[in-house]
Structure 1
Amino acid sequence: MAQGPGRPAGAGPAGRLSAWRFVVWFGAVAMLADVVYEGARSITGPFLAHLGASALVVGVVTGAGEAAALVLRLVSGPLADRTGRFWAWAIAGYGLTVVSVPLLGLTSVLWVACALIVAERVGKAVRQPAKDTLLSHAAAVTGRGRGFAVHEALDQAGALVGPLAVAGVLAATGDDYGPALLVLAVPGALALALVVWLRVQVPRPVRYERATPAEPGERTSRRVPGATEVARLPVRFWAYAGFAGLTMTGFATFGVLSFHLVSAGLLPAAAVPVLYAAAMVVDALAAVATGWAYDRYGAVVLVVLPVVAALVPALAFSATVGMAVAGVVLWGALLGVQESTLKATVADLVGPGRRATAYGVFGAVVGVAAAAGGALAGGLYETSVPLLVAVTGALQLVALGVLVTIVRGRWGPHRPPGATR
């Protein structure tokens, strides 16, 4: 095909960047944004405790924040599909996040801090279905697992830098949370500028993805998907969403984990972001490993998720520093699988016409589970840690059974039908 006027050599059909370059630049946007919100999340538990919150409050607020980040995608996903303005939704979501976090550094009122924490998560809800859809188009060329894995690895580079920067400021200011949060305004501004530039470079990422025959009932128009259309998402997608929801119900938030580390006297507040950063390194490694394995073996690699998730609370809520640290590191590995391979699977289960809707619904299911998981972990932590460990293990055992049934009965031994690898 002849190169269009003004298009650089090697550019893709969607714009001025190849699919791999688009994945990398989008990863850079996520990296800068992660410096902002992961830097803040690394101290959410101690920060709220500093303002007078209990473990239950921390669990409820962080769980509600995750729910907001996920459940509200049930609205933003279908609206993104309806309007086709995926870039507008992505940019608006990033804007809300990078404004909310620095404002945390200006408040000393508990309820205001709680509201801002939830607002930051709402920003993720606004952008995520559109962002995942944009990324999925380029990942159709690079390989679903590989594309999402590389994006997640870059994303987690920011999740490493952010907590370390916050830890450095805390150490320099004597655990003053205000400056540690205000400094995050700088990478936030850079992230917003870069995503606007990327939109100019690649206005239509959907052109990366090769045209494929529509599935039965596949929606191609931009009208609002109603309840009937949402229900007509593939059966295998709903079963998969159920599995993901079960795993998240037994998945404690880092807010509760960090609350335990500080309140039990295992680590000082300034050390918690450092441990969080280490968990983010493991997150990136796990994302790449499972992403590559997914492209080769399919959804069967997700068996690792419930198995390892059952071990996390038994270690993370220990009274021994070494075991607690090991639990947090495993938590990071699970987060990497959740943020990469789980999303890659959704893109293989649902065609482009309804993909943002699918990501929104998937987020809603996982979000309800995240809210329940945060409250459950916080409440049971104050009641009985052994009971928390037992309940989590039971939930993950059920999740494992569901996944095995799905893989054997619906997807076959290696990969879901319709995979584009």
Structure 2
Amino acid sequence: MWDKKRAYRFIVLMGVVSLFADFTYEGAKGIIGPYLAFLGASALWVSLVSGLAELLGYWVRLLSGFLSDKLRSYWAFTLSGYALNLFAVPLLSLAGSWQTASLLLLLERTGKGLRTPSRDTLLSKATQVVGHGKGFGLHEFLDQIGAVLGPSVVALVLYLGFGYRLAFALLFVPAVFAMLFLLQAKGLEVKDLQKERRGSEASLGKAFYLYLIASCLVSLGFLQFPLMGFHLTQKLNFEGWQVALFFALAMGVDALSALLFGVLYDRVGFMSLIAGLSIGMFSTLFLLLISQPLLAVVFWGISLGVQESIMRSAVAKLSSEDARGRAYGLFHFFMGLSAFLGGALMGLLYQYSLLFLIVYSVGLHLLAIGLLLAVVKYKAQ
């Protein structure tokens, strides 16, 4: 059985894995587009392959979630997924053409799709001991440190004039550290995994599916940062470096809110999720109507922190152990697909009417909050 000390050690180790993993692929994410252009790809291809890679990752999450439950091979999916996800990035430094680089980008997203449901399932076993909200909040906090450091280091490498290839090659270092810490975490967890309960009912009830719909509504109505950055530069006359600083601020707020609302979730349950989403709902309003970008970015970061911590932790509470891989597969697939579709629709609404975009975003958040209240009521029965 897990004890609290061992559970915290596992959560921290997996958080450090995510720190170095985010350092690797988030560090690369900001320069993939320019690098593909450097290799001769067209703007249309950059857009197409980026969207295709994300969609592929969503489908793989759905499939890997089902298979990990069926095969009871959570570590196999986690290890292979991380390896593919991480080492595809430094291999970009060796790409001789945009076709090869595009293939590596597809492999990187495939790897992330393979490992995400299984990783969250493994995490849920430890967070059950210390509190799902606190555990996932701590993991997200460490994760976001890497999301800030990676792009910052890559930007510095390019600023110093070393070029894209060296920037990608240097990301081999955090990739190796991520795998080393992952192997250490596996050594800590494997004995409990061998003793885990078998034969419990693999079920996902009505509360889970209501929650899944609510989560998708949030994702459909959540303004993506690239569109925020576009608005800041094109409408509010911000410079690129200022947008980058705002993004770093948002990542910092994300990390802190994940911890705060994670602790609150363990104390007051779904009401903390509703509170966090209610705050984040005003981000679009402050950005597009009131023109208070600082508040908009802070509220946006709060909402993202809640989505990345509490919304993941709630899946563990709403699913049985034997169905948890499937639950996380469904959750990540539909959340990702909703973000993709919502982002495209909000881009169209942005061109048509900012007021319609605000009504759309706020309206979907209100519907989601209503469904979450229904989940609370259903669980109380």
- TM (norm. structure 1) is 0.78
Q: Which residue of 1 aligns with 2:109?
A: 121
Relative distance call for 1:40 and 1:319 in structure 2 (3 A) is farther
Q: Which residue of structure 2 lines up, in the alignment, with residue 150 of structure 1? A: 138
Is 2:248 aligned against 1:277?
Answer: yes
- The residue type paired with residue 185 of structure 1 is F
Q: Equivalent residue for 1:367?
A: 336
Q: Distance in 2 between matches of 1:108 and 1:384?
A: 43
Contact 2:37 2:46 in 1 (8 A): no
Which aligned pairs between 1:291-306 and structure 2 lie closer than 5 A? 291-306=262-277
Match of 1:194 among 167, 177, 181: 181
Residue 375 of structure 2: which of 378, 382, 406 is its match?
406
Task: Figure out how many residues of one structure are paired with residues of the other and give that number.
Answer: 378
Q: Which residue, out of 88, 110, 122, partners 1:100?
A: 88
For the residues of structure 1 that align with 2:283 and 2:323, how far apart are their CA atoms?
35
Question: Match for 1:133: what amino acid?
Answer: T
Tell whether the 8 Å contact from 1:65 to 1:118 is kept in structure 2 after alignment: yes
* Corresponding residue to 1:53 among 20, 24, 43: 43
Using the alignment, how far apart are the partners of 2:70 and 2:214 within structure 1?
28
Report which stretch shifted further, 98-107 or 367-376.
Answer: 98-107
- Cα deviation code 1:368-403 (max 9, x no counterpart): 212212222333334443332232122222212222
Corresponding residue of 1:338: 307
Q: 1:11-56 CA distances to partner (integer Å, 9 max, x unpaired)?
A: xx469x81111111111111110111222334567778987637x9
Q: 1:342 to 1:102 in 2, by over 3 A?
A: same
In structure 2, the residue matched to 1:352 is 321
SS in 2 for 1:125: helix
Aligned pair in 2 of structure 1 residues 93, 107: CA closer, same or farther (>3 Å)?
same
Q: 1:167 to 1:83 in 2, by over 3 A?
A: same
- The residue correspondences of 1:124-135 to structure 2 (distance < 5 A) are 124-135=112-123
Evaluate the alpha carbon distance shift between residue 14 and residue 292 of structure 1 in structure 2; reply closer, same or farther with a 3 A threshold: closer
Q: Identify the residue that residue 238 of structure 1 maps to in structure 2.
A: 209
Deviation of the 1:168 alpha carbon: 1.9
Match of 1:6 in 2: none
CA shift for structure 1 position 79:
0.9
Q: Which residue of 2 aligns with 1:250?
A: 221
Aligned to 2:298: 329
Within 1, Cα distance between the matches of 2:286 and 2:52?
Answer: 24
Distance 1:360 1:296 in 2: 27
Residue 63 of structure 1 contacts residue 373 of structure 1 at CA under 8 Å; is this kept in 2? no
User: Partner of 2:125 in structure 1?
Assistant: 137
Q: Secondary structure at the match of 1:340?
A: helix
1:170 corresponds to 2:130: no
1:306–1:24: structure 2 CA closer, same or farther, 3 Å change rule?
A: closer
Structure 2 unaligned spans of 5+: none
Instruction: Please state how far the C-alpha of 1:292 moved relative to its aligned partner.
Output: 0.5
Asked if structure 2 preserves the Cα contact closer than 8 Å seen for 1:160 and 1:278, the reply is no
2:149 maps to which residue? Answer: 161
CA deviation vs aligned residue, 1:202-243 (integer Å, no higher than 9, x gap): 32444797x6994xxx13xxxxxxxxxxxx521110000000
The 3 A distance-change label for structure 1 pair 269 and 108 is farther
> CA offset at residue 141 of structure 1?
1.2
Amino acid at match of 2:77: W
How far apart, CA to CA, are the structure 2 residues paired with 1:316 and 1:164? 25
Does residue 33 of the first structure (1) align with residue 1 of the second (2)?
Answer: no
Deviations 1:229-259 (A, max 9, x none): xxx5211100000000010011233333344
TM-aligned CA distance change 1:164 to 1:128, over 3 Å:
same
CA distance in 1, matches of 2:103, 2:346: 21
CA contact 2:261–2:276 (8 Å) conserved in 1: no
CA contact (8 A) 2:204 2:320 kept: no
Which moved further from structure 2: 111-120 or 64-73?
Answer: 111-120
1:380 aligns with 2:367: no
Contact 2:60/2:113 (<8 A) preserved: yes
- Whether contact under 8 Å (1:62, 1:374) holds in the other structure is no
Higher mean C-alpha displacement, 276-285 vs 42-51: 42-51
Within the candidate set 50, 64, 67, 1:76 is matched to: 64
Moved more, 95-104 or 337-346: 95-104
Q: CA distance change for structure 1 residues 352 and 206 in 2, over 3 Å: closer, same or farther?
A: farther
